[in-house]
Amino acid sequence: MSRESTKFSRAATVMGGGSLIAATLLFSAVFVELARTFGYPDVLDLPAAQVLPRLLTLGPGGRAVWVLYGLIPLLLLPTAIGIYAAGRHATPLAARATLILALLSAAAMMAGLLRWPSLHWQLALAYADASPAAREAITAVFDASNSYLGNFIGELLGELFLNSFFLCAAIVLTRAAAPARRWLLVAGASASLLGWLAMLRNVTGWVEPIAALNNVVLPIWMLVLGVALVRHRTSPPELGLPTPAWTNRS
């Protein structure tokens, strides 16, 4: 590996890890703010007649908070680039998979979150002065968008891709570093499995306790992965883990 390539990889991993740490902190801060001002996420279970007027009371500042919340998933992209830079030689197939999964996850989660300051905001404006018949139509659109953009695209697909991304990231960083990093693979696989189960919370109530646990584990795992990426050092070939043949396909 050339000196220039090493410098690029190091810069990319530091930026990628820092981006994931920033995403974790921003997500937590915005979540707390929306919980305080909007009753999020419990408000998601309320009918349109209660949610839409409450949404407008947030004002322009609250709408901006929703926009920020919806853009946070973009920080997955520099994280994925950092992971790719760390493992593109040791395990190129998994490294490329992290790029694809990060893009899919960010797109899905943004589609779900950004419906609030865009589609739902316009529905709230229309609902305020609408006739009873028009309010029924607005309610139908509101419920449909929550089901499609929120539950299916944003939560189910978004979290499916996100946890797959986390697993691939753990694989890449484990194989690209020294054997002592095997703990990262175990932690990543455990967090991903927990997330995959938790994403079924809108399908069955049996996973509600798992979803509650995932809400605690997820930010911790994101911080751990971010720090691991910042501190990552690619091990010399003689110290690295043996690379299976399937990871070297191009």
How far is it, in rounded angstroms, from Cα 73 to Cα 191? Answer: 18
Tell me what pLDDT residue 156 has. 96
Whether 1 is covered by a domain: the verdict is: no
The DSSP H or E segment spanning 70 is: helix 59-71
Residue with tokens 């938790």: 198
Whether 55 is covered by a domain: the verdict is: yes
Whether 188 is covered by a domain: the verdict is: yes
Beta strands per DSSP E along the chain: none
The boundaries of the domain holding residue 203 are 7-231
Q: Is the pLDDT of residue 207 over 50?
A: yes
Whether 249 is covered by a domain: the verdict is: no
Whether 22 is covered by a domain: the verdict is: yes
Percent of the chain with pLDDT over 90: 82
Sign of CA dihedral 95, 97, 103, 108: negative
Whether 200 is covered by a domain: the verdict is: yes
Whether 250 is covered by a domain: the verdict is: no
DSSP-assigned letters across all residues of 10-63: HHHHHHHHHHHHHHHHHHHHHHHHHHHHH-TTGGGGS-HHHHHHHHHTTHHHHH
Number of independent structural domains in the chain: 1
How far is it, in rounded angstroms, from Cα 59 to Cα 76? Answer: 29
Q: Is the pLDDT of residue 232 over 80?
A: yes
Whether 241 is covered by a domain: the verdict is: no
How far is it, in rounded angstroms, from Cα 55 to Cα 120? Answer: 8
Each residue's pLDDT tens digit, 99-112: 999 999 999 999 99
